[in-house]
Amino acid sequence: MLELAAAALIGYLLGSIPVGFLVAKSKGLDIRKYGSGATGGTNVLRTLGAGPALATGVTDLLKGLLGAYIGSRLGGDWGYAVGGFFAVVGHSYPVWLKFKGGKSVATGAGSLVLHHPWGFLGGLAAAIATIAPTRYVSLGSLVGAVVFTAIVVFTPGTPMADKVLAVGATLVIYIRHWENIKRLAAGNENKLGQKARPRPQA
Asked if residue 132 has pLDDT above 90, the reply is yes
What are the contacts of 58-62 at 24+ separation with CB within 8 A? 58/106, 59/19, 60/19, 60/20, 60/91, 60/102, 60/106, 60/107, 60/110, 61/106, 61/107, 61/109, 61/110, 61/113, 62/110
Query: What percentage of the chain reaches a pLDDT higher than 90?
Result: 87
Share of the chain above pLDDT 70, in %: 98
Q: Decide if pLDDT at 40 tops 60.
A: yes
pLDDT of residue 200: 66
pLDDT band with cut points at 50, 70 and 90 for residue 193: confident
pLDDT band at 11 (very low <50, low <70, confident <90, very high): very high
User: Using 50, 70 and 90 to split pLDDT, how confident is the model at 136?
Assistant: very high
Mean pLDDT for the stretch of residues 37-55:
92
* pLDDT score of 198: 77
